Structure 1
Amino acid sequence: MVTLEQLCERLSGELRPAAPGPIGRHALTGVHISELADPTPYLEGGELLLTTGIPLTGGAVAIRDYVGRLAAKGVSALGLGLGAGTDLVDQELVSACADAGLPLLLVPEAVPFMHVSRGFWQLVGRSEQADLASRLSLQTALARAATRDNAAQAIVTSLAQGLGGWAAYLPADDGTETVWPANAADVVPRLRLESARLNLVGTYSAATFPLNGTDVVEHSIVVGRRTVGFLAVGAGRGLRKADRQLILTSCMLLSLTAQRAQEASRVEAELGGVIAALVLAGHVDAARLAAEHSGMPPLGDFARVFALRGEGVEALDSPDLGAIVGSLAATGPNSDLTPAGLRDRVSASMLRAAMGGIRVVILPEATAGGATESAPGGGTPRGDFAGALSAPLPLQAVAAAVGPVSFACRSARAGTVVAVTDAADDRGAAWLDALGRHPRGDLTETVRCYLAHRGQWESTARELGIHRNSLRHRIAVATELVGADLTDPDTAATLWVALRRPEAG
C-alpha cells in the first residue's frame, strides 16, 4: 500500500501541500490525470487526481461542485499543476477542499505530471517487492516449522505470528490442542462446539464464524478421506489474499505432518508385531536384538501378558485398544492395575499379536513387581469385550503364559478384566493332570525321565528299561496330550517345574 505521505516524501518538493500542516496517510490506488469538469465516471476512488486547473474556472459555485464530486467519489487527493495557466492558487479552492476533507497538493511549474505518476509506480513496485519478500519469509518459516520435532506447535506458532493474531490446531480424536499464544486457549471449548455444529468433516471444508468479537476462519485438516483435525485462525482484521495463502499452506503442512505421523505409527506397529511374534515364539534374544536395531524401546527383563476378546479386536490399534481397556472393570485377586493404569500400558505398547480372535499385548515392566497405578478408571464397559492380565513374568516365561491368559480371556465375563496368577505354573499343572489321567499311567514318569536326560533317547530308554521305539511312541502321545513340543525350552521348563512340586511327586 502506497500512501499520500510516502509519495510526497518520495517526490520531495515536486509535490507539496497547498496549506501548511500534516499531509496524512491517505492510501492511494493510482494517479489519474484529467481536465474534465466531471472526471468521476472514470475514477474508482482512492486516486490522486492531477489537473492544470481548467475544470476550476467558473467561480466559487463551480469550484465547490467540482470538489464535492471528487470527495463523494472517494478521491484521495487533488493535485494542481502550476505554470500552465495557473500561477496562483484560488483561495476558494483551498477552502472548498478543506471543507470536503480533500487534501490539496501543488505540482510546481516545470514538473511534468508523468514524473508524479512514475514516482507512484516506483513506490508500488517497492511495496510489492517488500510484500513478496515478507510472504516468502513467512512461507519459509512455515516450511521450516514443519521439519521440527513438534511440527504442529511450530506451524501454529509461525502462522499466528505471521498474521498478528491467534491460531489453534484441534485434533479430531479429541487429543491435546495446540494454541498460540497461550492466553488464547480459552477459545478452544467454543471452537470444539463450532466444529461439531458446522460438521467440518470432509475434504478441505472451511467455515467462518464470529467468536469473542473476532471473525474466525476454520479449515478441516484431511489425510486421505479422513479428517484428522481442524485449524482455526483469528487475525482480528480482514484477511488479505496473502494471509489466506499462508493459512492454506499451513493446512497443507499440518496434513503432511499428520500423514507422516500415521506412517511412522504404522511402521512402528509392524515392527512391534514382529518383536511380539519373536517373544511369543520363545526367541527372546532375537526379540531383544530386533528391538535394539529398530530403534524401539529396549525390552526389559519382565513383562505382563494381556489378552482381549471382542468384535473386531484383532484390527484395533493401541489407542483404540487402550480406550476399550479403560472402560473394563478389574476383577479377581491381585488385580493391582486399575482400568486407567492398564489403559495407559496397553496404549503405549506396540508389542501386539492377533491369535485366534484374541488380541495379545505384551506389556513390558521395569521390575518384577512393577509400579501399581492408582488413577481412577474408565466408564461403562463397551460391548462384549473382556480381557485377562497376567502378573509380571520373566520375559522368557511370556510364551508359556499366553495359553492360560488367552483361556482366561475367553472365559471372562463381558465388561471385565480378570487377573491370571502364576500363568506358567498353572499351565504346567494342567499338562501334568492330562498326562496323569491318560490310561497309560507311565506317561508322567516317562516325561520326567525324558526331561531329566534333556531329550536324549538312549539314556532315557536305558533308565526306563524300554526300547527306543517304545519311548518315541510314549513321547509322541504325551506331546499330543499337552499340545506343545516337549523339545521347546519354555515347554520343558514349565513341565519340569511342575514335576518338581511336592504334590506332583
Structure 2
Amino acid sequence: MISLAQLHSQLGSDLRPAAGGAVAVRQISGVHISELDDPTPYLEGGELLLTTGIPVSGGEAKVQAYVRRLVERNIAALGLGLGAGVDEVPPALSAACASAGLELLVVPDGTPFMNVSRAYWDLVGREGQADLTASLGTQTALARAATQADALPSVVKALAQALGGWVAYLPADSGAETLWPADNHTIVEQLRRETSRLDMAVTHSASTFQIHGTDVVEYPVLVGRRTVGFLAIGAGRKLTRADRQIIMTVCVLLSLKAAQQLESDATAAALGSAVTKLFLTGHVDAGRALAPDLGIVAPTGAVRLLVVRGEIDPATVSGELESRLRAGTGWAGWTEAGGALRSCRLRHVAGGLSYYVLDAEYPDAGTPGIPGSDGGSAGSTAQPEQYDGGAGNAAVTAVLSRPMPLERVHEEAGQLAATVRALAAGQIVDAPEGALDPRAQGWVAALRGYQRADLVGTVRAYLRHRGQWEGAARELGIHRNSLRHRMGIAAELLQADPDDPDVAANLWLALRWA
C-alpha cells in the first residue's frame, strides 16, 4: 500500500503538513474528495480525505463533530485545499485534529485535487509493476522447480523462501509430509488436527488459523473434486495480493503434478491387474512372460494371496490394514514401514473382492528374510481382528493364505473368496490349515459328470436351504419327490452323506469355488 510519506515525497509542497514537520508514515487505501458534512457512509476507512473547507465553515462544535466522525471511520488523514472555501487553516480545525490524532495536510491554492489523486495512482501503478515483476520471477522459479525429479520438496522450498516463512504440504492420504525448513516437524500434528477439525477435505475451501501465535493459511490441493493434499503457509506477516497469487500458482502446480501421478498410478494398476488376472485364472506362464514387458516383477518364490472384501483404496488405508494383518494373522512380515499393500503391483478387483499376490518372504523391519523373523509365527491362529476400514470407509474383511507356489494361486483363489464372503464384517484372519476336505474337488467333479440332471445346481440349492425339501424344490422348480430322487443319486456319487455337517460345509465351499 501507499503511505502518506510516499505521496508527500511525490507531490512535494503541493501536499504538506499543516503544522509543519514530517509527514507520518501511514498507509492510505485511496484518495477521496467530499464536501459533505458527513462523508463517512461513502468511505471504507484508510483514505486521505480532501475538502475545500465547506464542512468546517461553522462553529467549534461542528468542527469537532466532523473530525470525530472521520476518526471513528478510521480515516488516515484530512487534506484541506486552500483558496476555494478557506484561505487559511481554521484554528478550530487544527486544534480538533491535533486533539483527535488525525493527520492534517494542506493543499495550497492553485493545486488541483486532481494532482493529488493522479500522484496516488501513479504510485500504485509503480508498486503494482514492481510486485508483478517480482511475482513473475518467483513464479518462473516455481515452475522450474516443478519440473525437477524431486518436484514437491523443490516447490515447497521455493515457496517458503519467496514468502520468508515456513511451508508444509500434507498429503490427504496421511502420507509423509513435505516441509521447509525440513526440521519444522513440531507443527505437523497441529496442522493435521486443524485440517480435520475444519473438515477441509470436504469443504474444499481455504482456512486461516493460528499455531504458536502465528497466522497460518491452508489451501486444499484438488484434482477435479478430489482433495489430494493441503498446502499450509506460515509467513509471519500479512500476505500481499502478489503473495496470494504465488500461492495459487503453487496450488495449481501441485494439482497438475498430482493429476499426472494419479494417471500414472491408474495405468500401473490396470497393467498389474491384467497380470494378476492371468495368475488367478491359472495362466501362470503367460503372466510370467507378460510381467517384464509391463515393468512388473513376478514372484519367483512362495507367495501369499490376500483376499479383501469391501471397497478399499490402497493409498489411504493400506497402512492401517497392514497393521491389522500383522495383529490378526500373525504374519510378522507386515511392518509399519513395509508398505507392502501400497507398493503391490499384483492387485486385481473382481466381484466385490480385491486380490493381492504378495511375496511370502516380504522382509520385516528388523531382520530381512522370511515372515516371523521378529518372533512371530506365520502359522499362528490369532483371533480375528475387527477393522473399520479407517475413517469414512466401510468395514473391511480379509483372509490371508498360507505360503504357496504361484502355480497354486488359481486353485486357492476360489476357496479364499468363499471364506472371506462367509466371514463377519471386519474380520481379518489366516486361511485355516487344510480348509477343504481333500475329497471336495472330486465330489464336484462327480456331480458335474452326471449328464441326466443338473446335480450341481440341485445339491447347491439343497445346501443353501439347509436340507429343507420344500424350499429347495421350490427354487429348482421341481417336485420334492424329484428332489429326493436326485439327492439319492448325488449321495451315491459322493459316497458321502450330504446331511453330515462336515461334508455339507466342505461341499458347499467347493461348489461356491466351482
Q: Give me the TM-score of the superposition, normalised by structure 1.
A: 0.61
Instruction: Please give the per-residue CA displacement for 1:84-125, whole angstroms capped at 9, x wherever unaligned.
Output: 686665666544433322223233444333222221121122
Q: What is the rounded CA distance, in whole Å, between the counterparts of 2:189 and 2:77 in structure 1?
A: 48
Q: Partner letter of residue 17 of structure 1?
A: P
CA distance in 2, matches of 1:194, 1:234: 14
- Judged with a 3 Å threshold, the aligned counterparts in structure 2 of structure 1 residues 408 and 343 are, in CA distance, closer, same or farther, namely farther
Shift of 1:239: 6.0
SS at match of 2:335: helix
Q: How many Å separate the matches in 1 of 2:63 and 2:326?
A: 89
Matched with 1:499 is none
Cross-structure match for 1:99 = 99
How many Å apart are 1:10 and its aligned residue? 1.0
The answer as to whether partners of 1:331 and 1:417 remain within 8 angstroms in 2 is: no
| Alignment equivalent of 2:401, drawn from 387, 397, 412 | 387
**Cα distance between partner residues in 2 of 1:226 and 1:83:** 64
Q: Distance in 2 between matches of 1:27 and 1:61?
A: 29
The partner residue of 1:350 within 332, 345, 350 is: 345
When residues 36 and 269 of structure 1 are mapped into structure 2, their CA distance, relative to the original with a 3 A threshold, is closer
Q: 1:274 to 1:3 in 2, by over 3 A?
A: same
Partner deviation per Cα, 1:468-497 (whole Å, 9 max, x = no partner): xxxxxxxxxxxxxxxxxxxxxxxxxxxxxx
CA distance in 2, matches of 1:86, 1:72: 25
Aligned partner of residue 5 in structure 2, secondary structure: helix
The code of the aligned residue for 1:305 comes to V
When structure 1 is superposed on structure 2, of 303-312 and 353-362 the one drifting more is: 353-362
**AA aligned opposite 1:385:** V
Q: 1:104 to 1:324 in 2, by over 3 A?
A: closer
| Contact 2:326–2:335, Cα closer than 8 Å, also in 1 | no
Code of the residue aligned with 1:359 in structure 2: it is Y
Separation of aligned partners in 1, 2:14 and 2:68: 26
Contact 2:304 2:400 in 1 (8 A): no
State how far apart, in whole Å, the 1-side matches of 2:143 and 2:383 are: 42
**1:286-365 to 2 correspondences below 5 Å:** 286-287=289-290, 290-291=293-294, 296=295, 302-311=300-309, 324=321, 326-328=323-325, 338-340=333-335, 344-345=339-340, 347-352=342-347, 359=355, 361=357, 363=359
Q: Where in structure 1 are there 5+ consecutive unaligned residues?
A: 391-397, 421-505
Question: Is the CA contact (8 Å cut-off) linking 2:361 and 2:370 kept in structure 1?
Answer: no
> Which has the larger displacement, 229-238 or 263-272?
229-238
On the 8 A contact 1:76/1:103 being kept in 2, the answer is yes
**Residue 285 of structure 2 aligns with which residue?**
282
Question: Does residue 260 of the first structure (1) align with residue 260 of the second (2)?
Answer: yes
The aligned residue for residue 188 of structure 1 is: 188
Deviations 1:257-281 (A, max 9, x none): 3332222112223333455678863
Equivalenced residue count is 404
Structure 1 CA distance for aligned equivalents of residues 326 and 40 of structure 2: 80
Report the alpha carbon displacement of residue 65 of structure 1 after superposing the two structures with TM.
Answer: 5.3
Q: Aligned pair in 2 of structure 1 residues 389, 326: CA closer, same or farther (>3 Å)?
A: farther
TM-score, length-normalised on structure 2?
0.60
Larger radius of gyration: 1
Partner residue in 2 for 1:77: 77
Asked whether the 8 Å contact 1:387–1:416 carries over to 2, the reply is yes
Q: 1:321 to 1:134 in 2, by over 3 A?
A: closer
Partner of 2:176: 176
Percent identity over paired residues = 43
Distance in 2 (CA, whole Å) between partners of 1:156 and 1:216 is: 15
Partner SS state of residue 189, structure 1: helix
Conservation of the 8 A alpha-carbon contact between 2:328 and 2:429: no
Unaligned runs of 5+ in 2: 377-381, 387-396, 421-427, 435-514
Counterpart for residue 416 of structure 1: 430
> Equivalents in 2 of 1:60, 1:229: separation in Å?
61
Could you tell me how far 1:6 is from its partner in structure 2? 0.7
Counterpart for residue 9 of structure 2? 9
| Equivalent pair of 1:305/1:360 in contact (CA under 8 Å) | no
Within-5 A mapping of 1:103-142 = 103-137=103-137, 140=140
The 8 Å contact of residues 352 and 362 in structure 1, kept in 2 or not, is answered as no
75-84 or 336-345, larger mean C-alpha shift = 336-345
